Structure 1
Amino acid sequence: MREAQNTAPGLVLFDRDGTLVVDVPYNGDPAKVRPVPGAREVLDDLRARRVRVGVVTNQSGVARGLLTPEQVTAVNGRVDELLGPFATWQTCPHGPDDACACRKPAPGMVLRACAETGVPPQEAAVVGDIESDVLAGLAAGARAVLVPTEHTAPEEVRRAPVVAADLRGAVDVLFGPDEGA
Structure 2
Amino acid sequence: MSLDVMEAPRPARRAAAVPARPEAVLFDRDGTLCRDVPYNGDPQRVVPMPAAAAALRQLRQRGIPTAVVSNQSGIGRGLLTWEAVHAVNARLAAVLGGAVAFHVCPHVPADGCGCRKPAPGLLVTACHTLGVRPPRVVMIGDIGADMAAAAAVGARGVLVPTPATRREEIAAAPEVAPDLLAALAQAFSAPRGPA
Which TM bucket (shorter chain)? over 0.9
For these two proteins, the number of residue pairs brought into alignment is 176
Alignment correspondent of 1:169: 182
Deviation at residue 80 of structure 1 after TM alignment? 1.1
Identity value in percent:
51
TM-score of the superposed pair, with normalisation by structure 2:
0.87
Alignment counterpart, residue 55 of structure 2, candidates 42, 67, 86: 42
Alignment correspondent of 2:99: 85
Q: Provide the rounded CA distance (Å) in 2 between the counterparts of 1:81 and 1:8.
A: 27
- Indicate the SS of the match to 1:6: coil
Deviation at residue 6 of structure 1 after TM alignment? 2.9
Alignment counterpart, residue 28 of structure 2, candidates 6, 15, 23: 15
Whether the 8 Å contact between 2:105 and 2:122 is mirrored in structure 1 is yes
Q: Provide the rounded CA distance (Å) in 1 between the counterparts of 2:180 and 2:20.
A: 19
Whether the 8 Å contact between 2:20 and 2:189 is mirrored in structure 1 is no
Alignment counterpart, residue 59 of structure 1, candidates 72, 86, 96: 72
Which letter does structure 1 place at the counterpart of 2:63? R
Q: Provide the rounded CA distance (Å) in 2 between the counterparts of 1:168 and 1:107.
A: 25
Which letter does structure 1 place at the counterpart of 2:99? P
Alignment correspondent of 1:107: 120
TM-score of the superposed pair, with normalisation by structure 1:
0.94
Alignment counterpart, residue 6 of structure 1, candidates 19, 31, 36: 19
In the alignment, structure 1 segments of 5+ residues that lack a partner are none
Alignment correspondent of 1:95: 108
Q: Provide the rounded CA distance (Å) in 1 between the counterparts of 2:61 and 2:163.
A: 30
Whether the 8 Å contact between 1:147 and 1:166 is mirrored in structure 2 is yes
Alignment correspondent of 1:74: 87
- Indicate the SS of the match to 1:144: strand
In the alignment, structure 2 segments of 5+ residues that lack a partner are 1-11, 191-195
Bigger mean CA deviation after superposition, 149-158 or 4-13: 4-13
Which letter does structure 1 place at the counterpart of 2:89? N
